[in-house]
Amino acid sequence: MIARAFLVLVCLVSLAACASLGVKTEGVSGPVAWHATDLELASKTFNNQGYWVYSFSVLLEEKQGTGLVFNEIQTTVYQPGAGSGTATYNGVWRLEANGRMRIPLESTLVCHFSAGGACGGSNVPIPMWRLILRGRSDQNHTVTIPIDMTLPADPPATPVVTSKSVPAIELVKPAAPAGKR
């Protein structure tokens, strides 16, 4: 009887762990609801090198009636089998109380051409993103909003109505640290 209960417990824990690894394109973090929208995957070639470009937007919506000003957005993208990359952007991005804001993002993955010469197979991107937005609320409280996303390998077609009606913020590439130029 104890062995059966233990087996059931192990199965439930395993299912929960596997479920957490699945696609995650929406959620709530503190006062902000977020949703990954307008997911697009394109195969491109430049100088005889193939690569994938995975672009999308993160739509943020403030849900507690307090405006927020973000002054730092850190992005980390993980690609299974290819490692990770992190960038930190500094600026002033205001999310109005009960307002919306859109953050356009993209990642690229170099394709290793097979005998067929195409981007495909195990080279298809399955990006996992972590965004950390830091700033202050209108009440001058420090705010840190973590967002963890796992995007699908084969995104659905872009719908007719998209988040592109929401004004996008602009992320300017950070300058290379001294000594790494």
Please report the pLDDT score of residue 109 as a whole number. Answer: 79
Question: Which CATH superfamily includes the segment(s) 23-155?
Answer: ApaG domain (2.60.40.1470)
For residue 167, the model assigns a pLDDT of: 77
Can you tell me the distance from the alpha carbon of 45 to that of 43, in angstroms, rounded to the nearest whole number? 7
**What predicted TM-score, i.e. pTM, was given to this entire model?**
0.72
- Alpha-helical (H) ranges within the chain are 2-20
What is the layout of strands, in order, in the sheet containing 142-150?
83-95, 68-79, 128-137, 142-150
Determine the Cα–Cα distance for residues 25 and 34; give it in Å rounded to an integer: 8
Instruction: Give the model's pLDDT for residue 12.
Output: 37
Cα three-residue angle 128-126-40, rounded to 5 degrees: 100
Contacts of 157 (CB under 8 A, 6+ apart): none
pLDDT tens profile 15-52: 333 345 689 999 999 999 999 999 998 888 888 878 88
**Distance (Å, whole) CA 38 – CA 40:** 6
Which 3 state secondary structure label does DSSP give 11? helix
β-bridge pairing 83-95 and 49-62: unpaired
Measure the CA–CA gap between 106 and 58, rounded to whole angstroms: 11
Question: How many CA atoms are closer than 13 Å to the CA of 75, on its beta-carbon side?
Answer: 18
Domain ranges of the chain: 23-155
Which stretches of the chain drop beneath a pLDDT of 50?
3-19, 115-117
Mark 12-30 as b/e (b = at least 16 C-beta within 10 Å): eeeeeeeeeeeebbeeebe
